[in-house]
Structure 1
Amino acid sequence: MIPPQTAWLKDPVVQSVCHAIAVEGANIYFVGGCVRDAVLGLGGSDIDMASDATPQQVTRLAEAQGFKVVPTGIDHGTVTVVAEGTGFEITTFRKDVKTDGRRAEVAFCGDMKSDAERRDFTLNALYATADGQIIDPLGSGLRDCLARRIRFIEDAGARIREDYLRILRYFRFHAWYADPEQGFCPDAMDAIAQNAEGLESLSAERIGSEICKLLAAHDPTQAVAGMQQSGALQRVLPGSDITMLGPVVHLEQALGLHGNWRLRLAALGGDASSRLRLSRKDAQFLDRLRNSISDMMPIAEIAYRHGFELASGALVLRAGLANQPLEPAALLPLKAASKARFPIAAKDLMPGLSGKALGARLAALERLWIASDFRLTREQLLAGE
């Protein structure tokens, strides 16, 4: 049984959607991540549902109960039922007809086992009824989930060749869910090594999304080491090196910082721009982090100019390279510096100065103020004029 305290199990809005689809005898189930996370006592996964009803039937049944239906992925059997402002994806049971390593052509079916067999890992092939009864059509998903074991469904190589992104998903799920004492499944690692070249066919967007999620795990060190061992890491991040990742993660944890995927990506090095499509903001942050290793700007000044997150990342990177321990107290001056505001404005130096002379004097006073650990007041700075 799903734990009774699970939010979606007792949510009347969720239950009303289930009732709407089941009212004429169709079956509807919770599936995938929300079931997996409920079994593990975790929360926060999106609610996905599966049904033996066709998309057209789901649409008719939901609309009959007054819900709005959006055909978000109807070619693949998915519609989104909107109830009280929340969207719930409902996908008809499917089986793969044709795959090319990036996308699949599917056919609808009424068979839960066939639907389960097309998924990636056994712990993701769990279903639950509206009242919380768990269904394990493959017979191994619940056992693997409770053991925190990441295992491909049936033949690992076949699952990977259906969608090469599953290589990265394997390591992401290992980072987030696996018992680290178990290590990697040998069959999975062999299949990944043999099919790693297939990662070259994936878009930068898909690769980047998976890598960011993987690196955001509490401790992705073991998973990334597995990527390097299998040859997958160099395919997605050429020139990277895992040497700094462990120390960076350890220092983050020692400081009480949340895992920062951009900091961890900076620690890995390599050419992120060629295989990961980062947003402009993330790419700029990453460049500044990497530059902070070699430039001479004091950490407190980085906090003042670029904010606490970048400064704390720079602090961790420098300490990791120098093999120096850090204590949480090291963050206090960075927090203060990130909130500091230069007390002099251009008008304070006018009309005596203007143009380049004004700019130069403002910059000089700002440097003096920073060198004082942001202590000099407006009056003290102006008194030096």
Structure 2
Amino acid sequence: MTTVSGDWLTSAGAQSVLAMLEDSGYSAYAVGGCVRNALLDVAVADVDISTNARPQTVIELAKKAGLRSVPTGVDHGTVTVVAEGEGYEVTTFRADIETDGRRAVVQFSDDIGQDAIRRDFTMNALYADRRGLVLDPLGGLPDLRARHLRFIEDADLRIREDYLRILRFFRFFAWFGDPEAGMDADALAAIAGNLDGLSQLSRERVGSEMIKLLSAADPVMAVAVMEQTGVLMQILPGAVSRSLGPLILHETTLSLAPNALRRLAVMGFSDGPSLRLSKAQQRQLDLYRSLIGATEPPKVIAYRHGAKVATEAIALQAASFEHPLTLPDVPSLQAAASFRFPVIAADLMPEISGAALGRTLKHLENLWIASDFTLGKEALLALRGEG
């Protein structure tokens, strides 16, 4: 008997939803990522619940229990029940009766085995009741303990049901797989045979998966195999994995937290719109790309963008150009980040105005930087006519 524990299992919200269903005679289990993560002692973000109660029944039970329900995906069996301020997706056991590589037509079921078999990987087909007792219909526990990521039954069939599972395979391997044991051979063969299916995926889904994958502590092996199998070229044209490993080593040395955009940049990728990145993410990606080729010293980068960005620039440049990592002078970078250019526009007006004002300010700032930030306001103003 395997049991699981975790904050989510003892939370009032999760317990109230599970009890709402169980006390009315229905099966109710937390399922998927929350069970997997709890068994691995990894933080849990969301708690999904699986039940043999039909969606309308879930809505009625929630009303009786004084809980709010939202029919977020009722045609596919999902109702979100809000308890203690948290939303819990409650989904009826179901079986796929038709798939097209992106969407599935489902029918509801009373069989937890049918529900389990439609999922992607054995380690994600784990269920736990309100007491923490784990149900393992498909033998996922041994795979989870071995950190062996394996498709449920026929890998080729699972992929053709939803081609996003190709990217999910690499994402889950990056987070939960065992690099020393390598990747499942059947999975890789099925992936290689279904590359064309990646073109069916929306760019939003691709972007979301890649950001999650590259946020793992060490996605090097996952990305390298994506490159070897042709997946990387399909979804991120022009990106290469060569500099990713060195960057991650430097990140560790410099105590930089994982950052997907920094890692995209070192892979040579800059087309954020193709991944439907937000404008803020695209600006960050552009900054990282510019830092790789920047010729300004770290102290100047710290002045312009902050000490952390200057440290990131050191890591990006060392990884990209394959030269030894130079440890930053952290106090110097922190001091530079606090510097303020001593001249303002009002100091030059009305003698200088219009476009000339901007040019002069830029010229004086360059002189100030070239002096290692030592020239004072009066000295700089004395040089204002030299631009």
Q: Please give the TM-score of this superposition, normalised by the length of structure 2.
A: 0.92
Amino acid at match of 1:135: L
Amino acid at match of 1:348: D
* Residue 62 (structure 2) pairs with residue 62 (structure 1): yes
Corresponding position of 1:235:
234
> Helix, strand or coil: the match of 1:42?
coil
1:43 shift after superposition: 1.1
Identity %: 51
Amino acid at match of 2:86: T
* Residue 286 (structure 2) pairs with residue 314 (structure 1): no
- Cα distance 1:373–1:26, how it changes in 2: closer, same or farther (>3 A)? farther
1:383 shift after superposition: 6.4
Corresponding position of 1:184:
183
Amino acid at match of 2:358: G
Corresponding position of 1:85:
85
The answer to whether the 8 Å contact 2:119/2:152 transfers is yes
The answer to whether the 8 Å contact 1:30/1:127 transfers is yes
Q: Which of 283-292 and 73-82 deviates more? A: 283-292
The answer to whether the 8 Å contact 1:254/1:326 transfers is no
Q: How many residues align?
A: 383
1:328 shift after superposition: 4.8
The answer to whether the 8 Å contact 1:285/1:310 transfers is no
1:132 shift after superposition: 0.4
In 1: Cα distance, 2:336 partner to 2:132 partner: 51
Corresponding position of 2:203:
204
In 2: Cα distance, 1:50 partner to 1:324 partner: 52
- Structure 2 unaligned segments of length 5 or more: list them: none
Corresponding position of 1:110:
110
1:3 shift after superposition: 4.2
Amino acid at match of 2:179: P
- Cα distance 1:47–1:340, how it changes in 2: closer, same or farther (>3 A)? farther
In 1: Cα distance, 2:222 partner to 2:81 partner: 36
The answer to whether the 8 Å contact 1:212/1:261 transfers is yes
The answer to whether the 8 Å contact 2:254/2:311 transfers is no
In 1: Cα distance, 2:176 partner to 2:267 partner: 22
In 2: Cα distance, 1:335 partner to 1:111 partner: 60
- Cα distance 1:161–1:339, how it changes in 2: closer, same or farther (>3 A)? farther
Q: Please give the TM-score of this superposition, normalised by the length of structure 1.
A: 0.93
The answer to whether the 8 Å contact 1:160/1:167 transfers is yes
- Cα distance 1:101–1:332, how it changes in 2: closer, same or farther (>3 A)? farther
1:299 shift after superposition: 3.4
Q: After the TM superposition, which residues 1-385 of structure 1 pair with which residues of structure 2 at under 5 Å, given as runs?
A: 1-4=2-5, 6-138=6-138, 140-270=139-269, 272-273=271-272, 275-308=274-307, 310-326=309-325, 328-378=327-377, 381-382=380-381
In 1: Cα distance, 2:116 partner to 2:224 partner: 30
- Cα distance 1:353–1:203, how it changes in 2: closer, same or farther (>3 A)? same
Amino acid at match of 1:152: F
1:74 shift after superposition: 1.1
- Cα distance 1:115–1:340, how it changes in 2: closer, same or farther (>3 A)? farther
1:293 shift after superposition: 2.8
Q: Which of 7-16 and 270-279 deviates more? A: 270-279
- Cα distance 1:348–1:39, how it changes in 2: closer, same or farther (>3 A)? same
Amino acid at match of 1:97: I
In 1: Cα distance, 2:74 partner to 2:19 partner: 21
Q: Which of 140-149 and 124-133 deviates more? A: 140-149
Q: Which of 18-27 and 246-255 deviates more? A: 18-27
- Structure 1 unaligned segments of length 5 or more: list them: none
1:251 shift after superposition: 1.0
Amino acid at match of 1:35: V
Residue-by-residue CA offset, 1:358-377 (whole Å, 9 max, x unaligned): 32322122112323444445
> Helix, strand or coil: the match of 1:29?
strand
The answer to whether the 8 Å contact 2:81/2:89 transfers is yes
Amino acid at match of 1:165: L
- Cα distance 1:75–1:143, how it changes in 2: closer, same or farther (>3 A)? same
